[in-house]
Chain A
Amino acid sequence: MTMTKTIFASVIALASASAAFADETFKFAMIDPFSGPAAVVTERIEKVLRYSVDQVNANGGLNGQQIEILTFDNKMSPQETAIQAQKAIDQGARILQTSVSSSNTFALVDFVNKYNRRNPDHQVIVFDGASHDPAITGEKCSYYSFSWVLDADAKTAGLATYLKDRTDITKVYLLNAEGSSGQTTRQSVIDKVGASRPDIEWVGDDTHPLQKITDFTPYIAKIKASGAQAVITSDWGADLALVLKAAGEAGLEAEWYTYFSTGPGAPTAMAQSGLNGLVYSVFDGDAGIQNEGLHAHEAAFRAKMGISASAFPGDSSAIRALSLAAAKAGSNDVDPLIASLEGIEFETIYGAPAHSSPQNHQIVTQMAVSRFIDVPEGTLDEEGTGWGWENVAIIPAEAIALPNECEMKRP
C-alpha cells in the first residue's frame, strides 16, 4: 500500500516537473471581476494588458520566452480572489495581477505572502495594476508586490499643488461616498489641500451612500446654495456620471475636481452634461498631455482596440517595467526578477520617466491635471463624444513624493 502510494506520488512529481520544463510560455495571471457591474472596467484593462503583452512578445518576449495571459474571475470578492490565485498558481502563473479593487489587492498580497513563505522554491510576484489605496505600498507593503499606479494620497498631493496657484478658488465643497475609499480620500483632501491652501473655506461636506442614488438633483441644489466655486469628489462609476449630469441640467457653474473621470462611461456622461471645461481630472495622465509618443501610442491603440489606452496606465507600465527588468536580470526566475524590478527605470505611456521605488515598490512618476472640453476636430477625443482632455498642469514626481510607512520584510 505504502509502496504504491510512493510510486504514485513520484510519478505525479515527475509529471509535474517535466510539465514545468516543457512549459514554454511565461504565465501572467489576471485576477479581476470578469462578471458583474465592475466587468466593464476589467474588459478595458484586459485590452490594455493584451496590447502591451503583444508588443513585448513581438519583440521576442521575456528573454526569448513568450508571455501568456491567463484570466480568472474573482467576482469582485476578496475570498474569491484568494481561491482564483491558487488556481492561477496551479496553472503555472508566475505573476498574479489584480487591478479593480483595493480590497481584492489586499487579499491577493496577503495570500501570496503566505504562499511564498510555504513554497520558497516556487514563489510568485503580485502586480497591482490600478488600485488606489495608499496602504498597499504603505503599511501593508510586501517584498513580492509592485504597484504601477499613483495612489490616492499622491493624487491628492498633486491636486493640492495645483490648487496652490488657483487662488481664485476659495470656496470648496466636498462630496464623497461612504465606505473606506471615499472617506480616506475626503480626509486626505482636508489635510493636504487644507495645508497648501489654508484660506480655502469648506462650504460643504457631504457623504452619500455608495452607488445607490439615482437622483442627485438635491445635492446639486445644496452645492449651488453653498456658493461653492469648486467641488472635490472621489465618486466613480454611476455616481460620478449621475452627479455630473445633474450638475449640467441645473446649470451649476462650479468646477469639479475628480479622481475617476477617465473611467468607463464618465466621458460619455460629461459630454452629455455639457459642462465644458468645468470637469478636471486629477490622475496619472490622459490623452490631453502634449507628448508625441503618447499620441502615437493612443492612435495605434485606438485603431486596434477601439477605446482609449490612457485611462489604465498601470497595466502598460507594469509590462514595460517587467520586460526591461527581465532583460536586465537575464533570467525569468522570481528572485532575480524582483531584484531587478526594484528601482527599474522606464517610460510611461505618457512619455514621462518613471521608476519603481526600491523602498516600497511603488511607481514614482509625474501626474496630470486636465480638464474636459469640446475638443477641435482632429484632436484625440474620448468614447467617440467629440470631447476630450486638455492638460492644464503637469505635477512633477518630486511634488507628490510622500513619506512612506512601509517597513518591508525582506527574505
Chain B
Amino acid sequence: MSAEVITFSLLNGTLYGMLLFLLASGLTLIFSMMGVLNFAHASFFMLGAYFGYEISKIVGFFPALILAPVLVGLFGALIERYGLRRVHKFGHLGELLFTIGVAFVIEEAIQMIWGRSPMDYQVPEALNFTAFEIFGTGYPAFRLFMLIMSVAIFAGLALLLTRTRVGLIVKASLTHPEMVSMLGHDVPLVFMSVFGVGSALAGVAGVIGGPILITQPSMAAALGPILFVIVVVGGLGSLTGAFIASLLVGFIQTFAVAIDLSVADVFGLIGITQPPAALGALVSDIWNVSVSQVGPVIPYLLLVVMLIFRPMGLIGKRA
C-alpha cells in the first residue's frame, strides 16, 4: 500500500466515521440515559434532512441548521410524551415495537408529503468550495464542516453529561428515579427532554447529511442497520464508545475498498493457484472474492463477533 492510498483512506475513513458519529450520538444518548433502543432514530435523521431542505429554501442553510433540529426535537419530545411514556409501563419490548412502528409511519408520511423522488438538496454556496487538495484530489469544505460539527457535538455532549448538574440529574434519573423526584426534580420531564435532544441531534445529522447523501424516503432504511452496529460495537450507552466505533467502521470500510487481496492471492503466495477441488463449490466461489468486495459487510461481521465475545461492547457498561 502506497503512502498515497494510506493518506486517502485515513482521511476518507475519518470523514465518513464522523458522519456516522453525528448520527449515532443521538441514538446512544437516548439509550444510555433512558434505556430505550430507538429504532426510529434514522427516521428522525430523515425528517431532519427534509425539514432542512424545506427551511433552507426559505431562509438559507445556516438558519435551517438550527431551526430544523429544533423542529425534529419538538417532534421527538411529543412522541415521547404522548407515545413512548404510555408504552413504557409495558417494558422494553413495548418501547422497541413502538419505535419500529413510528419509523414506518414517518417513512410513509414523508412519501405522501414529498413523494418518492429524491429532493434537490444541495450543499450551501458558502461551503461549496474545495478546502484543500492532497495528491490532486480535492476535499470539499462541506465535509470538513461536518467533521468539525461532529467533534463539537461529541465534546459538548461529553462535557454536559460528565461535568454539569444537568448531566448528574439525567444520569441519576435513570438509576434512582424515585430519589431524584423526591429531591424535587420532574423525572418524566427529564426523560422527555433527553428524548427531544437525542432526536434533535438526529435532526442536525439530517440537515448536514442530506446534501452529502441523497434526500429520499429510503435514506433512513439505508443507514439504520449501520447505526446499530456502531452503538453495539461501541458499547450500548457509551458516548466515547460510539465515537471510537464510528471511526473504526469508517476506517474498516475505506481501507477494505483499497485492498484488492483475495483468498486466491493469499494462497498464491505459497504456490497454490487453484482451489482444491475436494473442498467443493463453496470454496471456489469465494476463491476470487477480494477484500474490497466484502468491505461494506465487515462491520456486520464485527457486530456478530462483538456480541459473542464482548457483549458489553468496547467501552459499554451494560451487558
Seen from chain A, the residues whose Cβ lies within 8 Å of a Cβ on chain B are 37, 39-40, 43, 178, 206-209, 211-215, 217-222, 224-225, 238, 241-242, 245, 249-252, 264-265, 268-269, 271-272, 383-385
Known contacts A241-B214, A269-B214, A384-B120: does B137 contact A218 (CB below 8 Å)?
A: no
Chain A hits for B212, CB < 8 A:
245
A264 and B120 alpha carbons, distance in the complex (Å): 12
Q: How far is the CA of A384 from the CA of B122 in the complex (A)?
A: 14
**Do residues A249 and B143 form an inter-chain contact, with CB atoms below 8 A?**
yes
A37 contacts across to B, CB distance below 8 A:
217-218, 221
A209-B296, A217-B16, A225-B4 are known contacts. Are A40 and B213 too (CB-CB below 8 A)?
Answer: no
Contact A208/B140 with A218-B8, A218-B258, A221-B9 known, Cβ cut-off 8 Å: no
Instruction: Give Cα distance in the complex from A265 to B115, angstroms.
Output: 12
**Contact yes or no, A40 B8, CB < 8 A:** no
In this complex, how many residues of chain B approach chain A with their Cβ under 8 Å: the count is 44
Residue in contact with A218 in the complex, picked from B115, B119, B136, B253, CB distance below 8 Å: B253
Q: Is B293 an interface residue (CB 8 A)?
A: yes
Contact in complex: A242, B9 (CB < 8 Å)? no
Nearest-neighbour CB distance to chain A for B177, whole angstroms, equals 38
B213's partner among A214, A252, A271 (CB-CB below 8 A) is A214
Say yes or no: is B103 at the interface (Cβ < 8 Å to chain A).
no
Contact between chains at A272 and B116 (CB < 8 Å): no
Q: Which residues of B contact A220 (CB under 8 A)?
A: 137
In the complex, what distance in Å separates the CA atom of A70 from the CA atom of B117?
23
Is B179 on the interface with A (CB-CB < 8 A)? no
Q: Which residues of B in the span 207-263 have a Cβ within 8 Å of any Cβ on A?
A: 211-214, 216-218, 221-223, 226, 250, 253-255, 257-258
**Residue B130 is within 8 A (CB to CB) of chain A in the complex:** yes
| A212-B118 Cα distance, complex, nearest whole Å | 17
Decide yes or no whether B12 CB sits under 8 A from chain A: yes
| B4 to A, closest residue via Cβ | A225
- Taking a contact as CB atoms under 8 Å apart, the answer to whether B222 and A214 are in contact is yes
Nearest to A385 among chain B residues (CB) is B120
Cβ contact within 8 Å between B296 and A213: yes
Query: B222 and A221: CB pair below 8 A?
Result: no
Q: List 27 A-B contacts (CB under 8 A).
A: A37-B218, A37-B221, A40-B116, A40-B117, A208-B257, A212-B222, A214-B16, A214-B213, A214-B223, A215-B250, A218-B9, A218-B12, A218-B257, A221-B5, A221-B9, A221-B137, A242-B213, A245-B212, A250-B137, A250-B138, A250-B139, A251-B130, A251-B138, A265-B216, A272-B122, A272-B123, A384-B120
Main secondary structure of the interface of B (DSSP, over half): helix
Q: Which residues of B lie under 8 Å from residue A265 when comparing CB positions?
A: 117-118, 214, 216
Distance in angstroms between the alpha carbons of A206 and B256 in the assembled complex:
12
- Are B254 and A238 in contact, CB atoms less than 8 angstroms apart? no
Task: Please measure, in the bound complex, the distance between the C-alpha atom of A165 and the C-alpha atom of B202, giving whole angstroms.
Answer: 50
CB distance from A218 to the nearest CB of B (A): 4
B211 surroundings in chain A (CB, below 8 A): 272
**Are A221 and B292 within 8 A (Cβ)?**
no
Tell me whether B297 is interfacial, beta carbon within 8 Å: yes
Query: Are B12 and A217 in contact, with the CB atoms below 8 A?
Result: yes
User: What are the nearest 8 A-B pairs in CB distance?
Assistant: A40-B116, A218-B257, A265-B118, A251-B138, A221-B8, A218-B254, A215-B16, A37-B218
User: Is the C-beta of B15 less than 8 angstroms from some C-beta in chain A?
Assistant: yes
Given A208-B296, A238-B222, 7 more pairs with CB closer than 8 A? A218-B258, A249-B139, A249-B143, A251-B130, A264-B117, A272-B211, A383-B117
Q: Which residues of chain B have a CB within 8 Å of any CB of chain A?
A: 4-5, 8-9, 12, 15-16, 19, 115-120, 122-123, 130, 136-140, 143, 211-214, 216-218, 221-223, 226, 250, 253-255, 257-258, 292-293, 296-297
Smallest beta-carbon distance B289→chain A, Å: 8
State whether A238 touches B253 (Cβ < 8 A).
no
A207 touches B16 (CB 8 A): no
The reply to whether A269 and B223 contact each other, CB–CB distance below 8 Å, is no
Contact residues in A for B226 (Cβ distance below 8 Å): 214
Of the candidates B8, B140, B223, the one having the most CB atoms from chain A within 10 angstroms of its own CB is B8
- Choose from A224, A241, A245 the contact partner of B137 (Cβ within 8 Å): A224
Chain A residues with CB under 8 Å of B123's CB are: 272
Shortest distance from the beta carbon of B46 to any chain A beta carbon, whole Å = 13
Which chain A positions have C-beta within 8 A of B140? 249
Specify which chain A residues have a CB less than 8 angstroms from the CB of B250 in the assembled complex: 215
Taken together as a complex, chains A and B put the C-alpha atoms of A264 and B216 apart, in Å, by 11
Tell me which residues across on chain A come within 8 A of B214, comparing CB atoms.
238, 241-242, 245, 265, 269
In the assembled complex, how far is the CB of residue B14 from the closest CB belonging to chain A, in whole angstroms?
11
Q: Bound complex: CA of A37 vs CA of B117, how far in Å?
A: 10
Shortest CB-to-CB span from A343 to chain B, Å, is: 38
Among B117, B217, B226, the one with the most A-chain Cβ atoms within 10 Å of its Cβ is B117
By CB atoms of chain A within 10 A, which of B19, B130, B214, B222 has the most?
B214
Contact B213 A222 (CB under 8 A): no
CB closest chain-A residue, reference B138? A251
- Which residues of the partner chain B approach A264 to less than 8 Å between Cβ atoms? 116-118
B residues near A222, Cβ cutoff 8 Å: 257-258
Q: Which residues of chain B have C-beta atoms less than 8 A from A241's C-beta?
A: 118, 214
A207 touches B293 (CB 8 A): yes
Name the residue of chain A whose CB is nearest to the CB of B8.
A221
Chain A residues with Cβ under 8 A from B16's Cβ? 214-215, 217
Closest to B289 in A: A207
Q: Known: A178-B293, A249-B138, A250-B138. Contact between A219 and B257, CB under 8 A?
A: yes
Chain A residue contacts of B139, Cβ below 8 A: 249-250
Task: Please report the C-alpha to C-alpha distance between residue A40 and residue B114 in the assembled complex, in whole angstroms.
Answer: 12
A81 to B211, CA, bound (A): 36
**CB < 8 Å neighbour of A208 from B119, B122, B218, B293:** B293
> How many whole Å from A229's CB to the nearest CB in chain B?
15
